[in-house]
Structure 1
Amino acid sequence: MFRNAQIYRLPSPWAVTHQELEPHLSPQSFTAPSSIELKAQGWVAPRDSGMLVHAVNRQFLLQLTTEKKLLPSSVINQVTKVRAAELEEQQGFPPGRKQTKELKDQVTDELLPRAFSTQSRTWVWIDPVNGWLVVDAGTPGKAEEVLKLLFKAIPKFPLETLRTVMSPGAAMTDWLASDEAPAGFTVDQDTELRSTGEGKATVRYVRHALEADDMRQRIESGKQCTRLALTWADKISFTLTENLSIKKITLLDVFKEESMPTVRDENERFDGNFTLFTGEFAKLLASLVDALGGRIKKAA
């Protein structure tokens, strides 16, 4: 279901129901951008029920839609340049900074209604039972767009950044140096090591055996692991990064065999797979936090 995971913490358990969450999100329902807007964001129903919070077995699924108008600055500048030349011919002198800005704003307003639009959707999984909030975003910055809306919508939203005793970079470096993965995990064949020196020299291994002696030599020369491909419980493969982001989530055959291929109803199949995925991924997150020395809790 999710290809990436930006991970955050909620109180465990978080005593909020999907019925209580729904009205907070409704004012932020998605509406397509107007003719003079470059971008619009809002929540849409993840399934056909029309509810903005899709709840299955006390697990919540949200979907944020973002629509952007494609209006390259090069096009705006080109048209503005033509308009400025026409204005110079009319008034006998080139437009100043203020006139040029007004021309540019006018050109933008004229071109916006004709601009093409693109839509993107971002999944958000809330686990109020185990205290997780996961955004399917490749970067923390993309996840921040989601969090800003949630903080605005939900009064006193008790979300925290996930912090662990060991930094992922230090832990991954130790795993490679010792040639020993943490309990429940295996190290795969992709990694990235970067120098801590000024040059930031980087070595990447892709589908390449990670020989222990080679890894130790790289680490002793001053490099630290910034990305590492791992598999958890022979069910889920992923890449862990130094900022505790998870990328390239892949469900393995053992996991897929536990899905519900015989269910004919699409909604029932979706809910079954969602329940299976969230149940296993919550276990993965707990195991990962343990492997990183546990969670640093916010001071009271």
Structure 2
Amino acid sequence: MWFRNLLFYRLREPVAYDPEAAEQRLANLHFTPCGAFEAQRSGFVPPLGPQAPLVHAAAGCLLLLLQEESKLLPATVVREALAERVTALEAAEHRKVRKRERERMRDEVVADLLPRAFSRHKRIWGYIDTEAGFLVVDAGSEKQAEHFIEQLREAWGDLQLAPPQTELAPGTVMTRWLAQRQTPSDVELGEEAVLEDPSAEGGEVRLKRQDLTSAEIQAHIEAGKRVRALALTWGERLSGVLDGELALRRLKFLELIREQAGDRDPESEAERLDADFVLMALEVRGLLPRLLEWFGGEQQRARPDAG
């Protein structure tokens, strides 16, 4: 249940803490497996198990789980099957198969192979914090997060949200942290960073297991490189790699939090998931406002009460 990534979005309008209403919204997007001739399908499944509701409510948050199924059809298999059909047709009719006909035959090959293809399943967790006014998604990429949001908007037609905007550019502020060898009192630098050269497209330096306050790093900063991603720890509670878009990846909840989780004795897997989620959501609720403060606070026009 512990998220490994945090991509968060500001809710433009308040969302009611009403799990029954949320359940009704998601009902038409309940996941069902792919049909024999479908390449992919996605929908929501119960976060706490098959017999649980589609929406799990706890600590002022609505927890959701999107499941994706995609059929695996290796390109080489499709090419080989298509080549066989093209060769057979050309030999039988003594003519060359043209491009448009080849494309139609490829579609036929894919349709024939889909019922025998293996399925791959992927899950994307997310929750709406109705008290803090954020949507939080555990996604390894922006593309995955966008797919989660698209599905959520399909069910929640009036859901208004946007990536958070801060007064100061995160990359500029994190570069200053390294240049001045000074961070906010509740931030400790890790040993990893990505520095990029704004004057050279694609020019970057990836640092791992490095002292980010060393003279070597200072030389990179003085040469004009800027921070694109930076490993850090917040308040000895959690750590991760923060990028210039405010996405926190490779998230780890540290010993202090894990000890709190270990003090419980849940009677079932569902109870354990619920307790872990509450603990995690409360930690993230404390982190996000503070994270925005590091970069000058949220822009006025990005706040939900802005005119």
How many equivalent pairs are there? 300
Identity of aligned residues (%): 32
TM-score, normalising length: structure 1 = 0.95
Match of 2:203 in 1: 201
Match of 2:256 in 1: 254
CA shift, 1:177, in A, is: 0.8
Extract unaligned runs of 5+ from structure 2: none
For the residue of structure 2 that corresponds to 1:98, the secondary structure is helix
CA shift, 1:264, in A, is: 3.4
CA shift, 1:199, in A, is: 4.4
For the residue of structure 2 that corresponds to 1:230, the secondary structure is strand
- Do the aligned residues in 2 keep the contact of 1:177 with 1:212 (CA within 8 Å)? no
User: Partners of 1:200 and 1:89 in 2: how far apart?
Assistant: 49
Match of 1:228 in 2: 230
CA RMSD of superposed structures (Å): 1.5
Cα deviations by residue, 1:22-67 (Å, 9 ceiling, x for unpaired) = 1111100101111111101000000134211111122111000001
Match of 1:180 in 2: 182
- The amino acid across from 1:23 in the alignment is Q
Match of 1:82 in 2: 84
User: Partners of 1:108 and 1:221 in 2: how far apart?
Assistant: 53
Match of 1:30 in 2: 31
1:270-289 aligned within 5 A: 270-289=273-292
CA shift, 1:188, in A, is: 1.0
CA shift, 1:262, in A, is: 3.7
Runs of 4+ in structure 1 off by over 4 angstroms are none
- Do the aligned residues in 2 keep the contact of 1:172 with 1:228 (CA within 8 Å)? yes
User: Partners of 2:12 and 2:84 in 1: how far apart?
Assistant: 58
- The amino acid across from 1:63 in the alignment is L
1:51-200 aligned within 5 A: 51-200=53-202
- Do the aligned residues in 1 keep the contact of 2:59 with 2:282 (CA within 8 Å)? no
- Do the aligned residues in 2 keep the contact of 1:12 with 1:128 (CA within 8 Å)? no
Residue 199 to residue 153, structure 1, CA distance change in 2 (3 Å): closer
Cα deviations by residue, 1:189-218 (Å, 9 ceiling, x for unpaired) = 111111111243221221221124333321
Extract unaligned runs of 5+ from structure 1: none
Residue 59 to residue 199, structure 1, CA distance change in 2 (3 Å): closer
- Do the aligned residues in 2 keep the contact of 1:231 with 1:237 (CA within 8 Å)? yes
CA shift, 1:296, in A, is: 1.3
User: Partners of 2:13 and 2:261 in 1: how far apart?
Assistant: 27
For the residue of structure 1 that corresponds to 2:63, the secondary structure is strand
CA shift, 1:186, in A, is: 0.9
1:39-50 aligned within 5 A: 39-48=40-49, 49-50=51-52
For the residue of structure 1 that corresponds to 2:110, the secondary structure is helix
For the residue of structure 2 that corresponds to 1:123, the secondary structure is strand
- The amino acid across from 2:299 in the alignment is I
User: Partners of 2:79 and 2:99 in 1: how far apart?
Assistant: 14
User: Partners of 2:233 and 2:186 in 1: how far apart?
Assistant: 8
1:238 aligns with 2:240: yes
For the residue of structure 2 that corresponds to 1:130, the secondary structure is coil
- Do the aligned residues in 2 keep the contact of 1:230 with 1:239 (CA within 8 Å)? yes
Residue 101 to residue 275, structure 1, CA distance change in 2 (3 Å): same
Match of 2:296 in 1: 293
1:211-226 aligned within 5 A: 211-226=213-228
User: Partners of 1:207 and 1:61 in 2: how far apart?
Assistant: 35
User: Partners of 2:264 and 2:158 in 1: how far apart?
Assistant: 43
- Do the aligned residues in 2 keep the contact of 1:179 with 1:212 (CA within 8 Å)? no
For the residue of structure 2 that corresponds to 1:22, the secondary structure is helix
Cα deviations by residue, 1:71-114 (Å, 9 ceiling, x for unpaired) = 02221121111111110111111111222122111111111111
